[in-house]
Amino acid sequence: MIKNLGQSDSILNQFIAEIRDNVIQSDSMRFRYNLERISEIFAYEISKTLIYEKREIITPLGSAEVPVLKEYPVIIPVLRAGLPMHKGFVNFFDKSSSAFISAYRKVEKNEKFVIKVEYVSSPDLTGKIVILADPMLATGSSIVSVYKELITHGKPEHFHIASIIASVEGVDLIKKSLPDKEVTLWVGAIDDELTAKAYIVPGLGDAGDLAFGYKI
């Protein structure tokens, strides 16, 4: 299931415009803050799909019956670019558990690359609602690899993938490789092209570098 939140006019597209803008994005603090704000919008939209239960809340003047979350999702950022998104999600899901996973591209001698999952710290995911946060969905290979690694920590009830900018190729791989009824992909925009080095065009560049500085 694909949810493209950028297809309808909202303030979300203002923030996406700013993270794409090659002048505005040079301010790394603003770039991180925009990733956080976008993730808060994603969190609100995902919250509409979760299960609620009515609870009696005592006020200074009486009581009110209010629907509240029955269970909070587990929030999992893909390091390092996913960290500002993690902050946005936990701003809304403030009682959530978290897991952390590191994945990166390893370039082979023939200049092709493979995805390496290097680090995982996760609670038991059995029966949980999981939100996986990664700003960019390029080829989709890293998300598929991360998904396969995470389900070794327990099979979630449902898996939400939140990527701000995706490519057509990446979306197609997710649709082909992951179970449709158990996975929802949330995106802010879908771009048509990938470069030979698998960067999204027009995209926005390297989200990790823009957020935290260039890596060695």
Domain total for the chain? Answer: 1
The answer to whether residues 77 and 102 touch, using CB atoms and an 8 Å cutoff, is no
Note the pLDDT tens digit of each residue in 152-205: 999 999 999 999 999 999 999 999 999 888 999 999 999 999 887 788 999 999
The CA distances from residue 140 to 14, 81, 102, 171, in Å, are 25, 15, 15, 7
Mean pLDDT of 48-52: 97
Instruction: Record the pTM.
Output: 0.91
SS3 state of residue 183:
strand
- CA 205 and chain centroid, separation: 17
The answer to whether residues 47 and 92 touch, using CB atoms and an 8 Å cutoff, is yes
Mean pLDDT of 71-84: 94
Note the pLDDT tens digit of each residue in 102-152: 877 666 555 565 667 778 889 999 999 999 999 999 999 889 989 998 999
pLDDT of res. 44: 98
Does 45 score more than 90 pLDDT? yes
Contacts of 167 (CB under 8 A, 6+ apart): 137, 138, 139, 140, 190, 191, 192, 193, 194, 200
Provide the residue range defining the domain that includes 91: 2-212
CATH of the domain at 118: 3.40.50.2020
pLDDT of res. 105: 67
Residues in the chain: 216
User: Residue 21 phi/psi, 5° resolution?
Assistant: -65, 120
Helices (H) and strands (E) in the chain, counts: 6, 12
